[in-house]
Amino acid sequence: MQMQKSIVAMSITAALLMGCGSDKKPVVEVINTAPVSEDVAFNATQSIAIKGMLSGKDAEGNITFSVNAADFAHGTFTLVNAATGEFTYLTNAMEGKEVVQFKVSDGKLDSMSTLSIDIEGGDPLYVHQWHLNNSGQSAFAINRGKAGEDMNVAEAIAQKTFGQGVTVAVVDDGLEIAHPDLKNNVVSGGSYNLITGTIDSTPFSGASGHGTAVAGIIAAEGWNGIGGRGVAPKAKLIGFNFLDSDPTGAVTSVQTFENFVKSHGGNSLSDYARVFNQSYGYSIPFPDLFDEDENEVYAETSTKSADGKGSVFVKSAGNGYQYFRYSGTYWIPGDYFSARALGVPANQGLPFHNSNMTSSNANVYNLVVSAINAKGELSSYSSAGANIFVTAPGGEYGEDNPAIVTTDREGCTNGYAITEDRPGTPFHGGLHPLNLDCNYTSTMNGTSSAAPNTSGAVAMIMSANPALTWRDVRHVLATTATKVDADIAAKKVKLGTAEDALEYTAIAGWETNAAGLNFHNLYGFGRVDVSAAVKAAKEYKTDLGKYVVTDWVSSEDLAKAIPDQSLTGATDKLAIEDNLIVEAVQIELTADHLRLPDLAVELISPAGTKSVIMTPYNGMVYQGVMNATDPDDLVTGYNKTPMLSNAFYGESTKGEWTLKVIDVNSGDYSFIKYNVRGSIAIPNEANGELKGWSIRFHGHAAG
C-alpha cells in the first residue's frame, strides 16, 4: 500500500508540473550552416567590358560577396552588387590571366573560392595610342603626354559600339587596300583609283603613306592580334586617290572637278558613304572665293544622301599656325626666326594661317577640325579660327612629343617607317619588335590626324543611332565636346609700341554664347568626346526641324573709313527679321586696305556674342609681292570674301547683327618668302575702307 501511494503521489506531482507549475519553454538551439561557394572562370578581351556573377549560396540566405579589387593585376574589377555577386571587369591588356580569391560570408561563417579571368585577343599597339586612351605614355617619343587627355573612346568600345554599319570615304593620296590591319574593313570593290579607273586605290608612289595612315586612325581592325586600333574599329572604308599623281605623266592633274564629284559623294562610286574624310587643304596668301561647283556637291551630298539623312564631310583646318606653304615656297611671319632665337611667340602669338583664309573651310558643309596634342593644348602647327567646329588629337611630331600611332604602308621601303632613313623614333626602321615589318608609324600628325579621329567619332555616333541626320551628328558633337585647356589666356595685341598702348583681344578665352554653349577660336566647341557622344546619340530626342538656309542679306554700298591703328574701327549693322535658331553663320566681306594683316574682323550677334571671324597678323601678305599694274595680280583687299563662324550655334537670328573691322597696326610690317633673300615689307596705308558686307544663316525655325 505504501508503495502504491508513492507512485500515485509522484504522478500527481508530475501532472502539476506539466499543467501549470512553470512558464519556461525549453531552449531550441539554432544551427547555422556555412555558406557554399564555387570557383568561377570567365574570358575577357582587351577593352571590352565583361559582366559576370560570382558563385555562392547559403541555406539561411543573406550572404555578402567581397573581393579585394587591388588583387587584379591587369584590369579593373567592380563588384556591382555585393548581395548577388554581380561584377564587371575591363582590361587594356592583350593577354594574361587573373586569379583572385573571393569570399562569401553570412556574417558568421565564410567560404572562399577563386575567380579566374583569361585575357586573350587585342591589339599590341593599342597601349601606345594615347589619342584613344591617354595614360601618360610617350608613344615612342622622348616626352610623355598627360594622362586623361584623350578622346574618351574606352567606354563606348567597352559597351560594344564599334562603328558597325557605317562606311567612311578616305579622300586622300590613296589607300593601301591590302594592308593587313585594314583589309577586312575595306569594302571589297568599293575603292576607286581616279587615275587608272580600277578598284585599287593604293598610291603609285611608295612614299605616299598619308591616306593609309589616315585610314588606320579611322578604322584599323580591332582584336586581330596585330598593330593598333581605329577609333571605329568595325567601320567600313573606301579609298580615293584624289591627291595622287600619275607617274607616267599622262594625267596632269588628278584634282579635277570630275574626280571631285566621283570621290565626294556625287555619283555611285561614293554616294553610299556616310562620312567623308578630307585630310587635305591649302593655304593662300590672299583672299579666297568659294568654288560654287564644289559647294553644290557638298550641299547635295550633305543634305540629300542616305535617304535624306545626309552625310558628314570632315575637314582638316590646316597646319599653318606658324607658317604655311604656297606656290612651291614657304610664307613666314617676319619675326619668326628672331622670335625663335629668343624663345618667344612669333607673329604676336596669333595664327599666320587663320583657317577662314581657306574658302573651303568657310563652307558650312565642311566640319572643320583643329588639332590638339597629348598634353591637352593646341598642337603647335594647327590652324585656328571661328570656323573650327571641334578639336581632336593630332599630336606633335613624334620625336620630342607624341604623334599618332597608326598604320603605314607595308614594308620598310614604303611610307614613313623606312629602313633607309634614320628613324624619327625608335619605333621606325624595322628593328622594334612591334614593328618589324614597318607596317606602322608613330609620327603621323597634323590636322590630317585630327580629321580622321573626328571621322571615326562620327562613324561611332552614326553606328550608335543610324537614324541621325548630318545635322543631328553635328548637334551631338557640339553639345558633348570637352572644354579643354580651360584656363587658356586671351591673346592680345598692342596698338603701338608705347608702354601704355591700348590692347586688342584678337582671340578671347573660352566664352559661353547666349545658347549656353562654350566656344573658343582654337578649339571650337571642344575636344571630341566619343563615349559622351555615343551615349547622347543613343538617347537622342532633339528635333532640329526643317533645315533652313536663308538668302544673303546685304548692306548698302558703303564707304566707311577704317581708322588706322584704332579700336574705333568701322561698324555697320544689319537688321534680321527672321527668327531662326542658328546652326552656322556666314558672311561675305568687301573692304579695301593695302595691308590686310592689319585688319581684324568681328561679328556680333543680337544677343551680344562676339566672334573674331578674322584675326589680324594673318598671312594674307600677297600685296607685298603683287604686280600692281597687272589687274589679274592686283589685290586691293577683301572682295566678297567668305568667312564662317560657329560661335553663335543655338542663338536666335532675330535682331541687329553688327560687323566691325578694326586696324591694329600703323607701324612696320614684314614677312618672309622663303626663296627670296631677306624680309619683304608692306607699306602702311593710313585708312582702309569698309565697302559692304552680306550675311547668311543656316539653321531651323525657333520652336
Q: What is the CATH number of domain 126-318+353-485+522-538?
A: 3.40.50.200
Can you tell me the mean pLDDT for 672-698? 92
In this structure, what are the phi and psi dihedrals at residue 51, rounded to the nearest 5 degrees? Answer: -120, 140
Give CA–CA dist 331/623, Å, rounded. 13
Residue 195: pLDDT band (50, 70, 90) is very high
Residue 8 has pLDDT above 60, yes or no: no
Q: Region 421-435: what's the mean pLDDT? A: 88
pLDDT recorded at residue 425: 83
User: 241 near 212, Cβ under 8 Å?
Assistant: no
Calculate mean pLDDT across residues 418-428.
Answer: 84
Cβ proximity of 405 and 128 under 8 Å: yes
Q: What is d(CA 515, CA 484) in angstroms, rounded to the nearest whole number?
A: 19
Q: Is the pLDDT of residue 15 over 80?
A: no
pLDDT band at 29 (very low <50, low <70, confident <90, very high): low
Q: Do domains 36-120 and 548-701 have the same CATH topology?
A: no
Percent over 70 (pLDDT), the chain: 96
Q: Is 367's pLDDT higher than 50?
A: yes
CB 140 within 8 A of CB 416: no
458 phi and psi, to 5 degrees? -65, -40
pLDDT at 25: 61
Does residue 26 register a pLDDT over 70? no
Task: Return the domain boundaries, the chain.
Answer: 36-120, 126-318+353-485+522-538, 548-701
State the pLDDT at residue 100: 98
**599-604 and 560-562: which strand pairing?**
unpaired
Over residues 261-265, the mean pLDDT reads 98
Q: Which of 210, 264, 520, 698 is catalytic?
A: 210
Give pLDDT tens digits for 104-140: 999 999 999 999 999 999 999 999 999 999 999 999 9
**Does 648 have pLDDT greater than 50?**
yes
* Spatial CA neighbour of 376 closest among 402, 349, 400: 402
Active site residue 210: yes
Sequence-distant (≥ 6) Cβ neighbours of residue 234 within 8 angstroms: 162, 163, 164, 185, 219, 221, 222
Q: Which pLDDT belongs to residue 28?
A: 60
Give the pLDDT confidence score for residue 422 in this predicted structure. Answer: 74
Query: Do 695 and 553 touch, CB atoms closer than 8 A?
Result: yes
Q: Which CATH superfamily is domain 548-701 in?
A: Galactose-binding domain-like (2.60.120.260)
Residue 252: the pLDDT is: 86
Where would I find the beta strands (DSSP E) of 45-83?
A: 50-53, 55-57, 64-67, 75-81
Give the residue-averaged pLDDT of 451-463.
Answer: 98
Beta strands in 402-485 (DSSP E): 404-407, 440-444
Write down the architecture of domain 36-120 according to CATH.
Sandwich (2.60)
Q: Identify the weakest region by mean pLDDT among 271-275, 344-348, 675-679.
A: 675-679
Q: How many CB atoms lie within 10 A of CB 149?
A: 21
**Res. 332: pLDDT tops 50:** yes
DSSP 256-317: -HHHHHHHTTSSTTTTT-SEEEE------SS-----HHHHHHHHHHHHHTGGGT--EEEEE-
Q: What is the pLDDT of residues 468-517, one digit of tens each?
A: 999 999 999 999 999 999 999 999 999 999 999 999 999 999 999 999 99
CA 586 to chain centre: 23
- Flag whether the pTM goes above 0.95: no
The active-site residue out of 270, 448, 449, 455 is 448
Q: Backbone phi, then psi, for 459, in 5-degree steps? A: -60, -40
Residue 623's pLDDT band (cuts 50, 70, 90): very high
User: Is 330 within 8 Å of 324 (Cβ atoms)?
Assistant: yes
Does the active-site annotation cover 172?
A: yes
3-state secondary structure of 22: coil
Among the listed residues 106, 123, 150, 172, the single catalytic one is: 172
Average pLDDT, the chain: 94
Q: What is the mean pLDDT of residues 151-164?
A: 97
Cell of 55: 558563385
